[in-house]
Structure 1
Amino acid sequence: MGNAGYVGSVTADKGMKFAVVVARFNSLVTKELLEGAIEVFERHGVNPPDVDVAWVPGSFELPVVAKAMAKSGKYEAVVCIGAVIQGATSHYDAVVSAVTSGVLHASTDSGVPVIFGVLTTDSLEQGLDRAGGKVGNKGGEAAATAIEMASLMKKLKAEGKA
């Protein structure tokens, strides 16, 4: 590609497999985010059986399962979906920090893209706005990012760059 650089495709190659790890806590929001992710995966060429979904109790538990799934070698990318709402928890900052760091480490430790689809909002209303409401669906955006990153990593590996 020369100086043009490397760019991932937003359309999945046939047979690409993805994992989604979803927090049950704040499920009013996370179920909508998951639906958005599944819809985008299908719209961008991923067959429904090629998306595995794992449920964890809360956002704090996302990184350990995401890392295990990423390291399994079965998935091109893993999407983490959760919702940490300021008003719903007194330890908001600690949870957000731990989840952010954990998702990053799951990705860097495994070499597999692990996508941060965790909402961090001040209220349930803001969460719902980002889960298919006024601001679109951030779960769908995370799925699109997963496809693009998986495609980019595949191109880099084919060129011996990763």
Structure 2
Amino acid sequence: MPKFIEGEITAQGINFAIVVSRFNDFISQRLLDGALDALKRHGATDEQITVVKVPGAFEISSMAKRLALGGRFDCVICLGVVIRGATPHFEYISTQVARGVAAVAFESQVPVSFGVLTCDTIEQAIERAGTKSGNRGWDAAVSAMEMVSLLKAID
């Protein structure tokens, strides 16, 4: 029978960094609220959580890299929103943010969760930030907790 390793969803003993974009703040704040709610419901205290606000989604990955490599945090939760407009800017930004966050996780070997919404409309973003489709900030926080637990389990 194979050995199965599964992570736990707990905040105990974990130091969290959250990077959140200020652009489209009315949505990114909901994502942040969801992430904070998830962490606290799973045992985190304010002392375990550091929130860094960056200007826009493009800046998320560079800040995440600094935090991941700094040695103070067990994981980094990335939150923001990019909404399609009338120009190709959406494709450039959303692609680079996703690639950048993935690169940080790969290079640092620190769990980095992706809670950046890439939506065609404001309505889609609102749905994914705490209404009809759940809260992707909450989901990103849960993913971060589970990945920290998994890495500890395999070490």
Shorter-chain-normalised TM-score: which range?
over 0.9
Q: Which of 97, 108, 111 is 2:109 aligned to?
A: 111
Q: Which of 132, 135, 154 is 1:134 aligned to?
A: 132
Q: Could you tell me which amino acid in structure 2 is paired with residue 72 of structure 1?
A: G
Measured in 2, the distance between the counterparts of 1:10 and 1:91 equals: 36
The corresponding residue for 1:148 is 146
Q: Deviations over 1:92-127 (max 9, x none)?
A: 001011001000011111110111100000111111
**Structure 1 outlier segments of 4+, above 4 Å:** none
Displacement of 1:4 after TM fit? 2.9
Residues 47-86 of structure 1 aligned to structure 2 (within 5 Å): 47-86=45-84
Q: Which runs of 5+ in 1 are unaligned?
A: 158-162
Q: CA RMSD, aligned part only? A: 1.3
The corresponding residue for 1:7 is 6
Distance change in 2, residues 1:89/1:78 (3 Å): farther
Displacement of 1:144 after TM fit? 0.3
Structure-1-length-normalised TM-score: 0.91
Q: Could you tell me which amino acid in structure 1 is paired with residue 144 of structure 2?
A: A
Displacement of 1:12 after TM fit? 2.5
Confirm or deny: 8 A CA contact 1:12 1:151 kept in the other structure: no
SS at the partner of 2:59? helix
Confirm or deny: 8 A CA contact 1:107 1:114 kept in the other structure: yes
Q: Which runs of 5+ in 2 are unaligned?
A: none
SS at the partner of 2:9? coil
Distance change in 2, residues 1:90/1:84 (3 Å): same
Structure-2-length-normalised TM-score: 0.95
SS at the partner of 2:50? strand
The corresponding residue for 1:160 is none
Measured in 2, the distance between the counterparts of 1:147 and 1:140 equals: 11
Displacement of 1:88 after TM fit? 7.3
The corresponding residue for 1:92 is 90
Measured in 2, the distance between the counterparts of 1:27 and 1:153 equals: 32
2:32 equivalent to 1:34? yes
User: How many residue pairs are counted as aligned between the two chains?
Assistant: 155
Measured in 2, the distance between the counterparts of 1:63 and 1:11 equals: 25
Percent identity reads 43
Measured in 2, the distance between the counterparts of 1:89 and 1:105 equals: 26
Distance change in 2, residues 1:135/1:88 (3 Å): farther
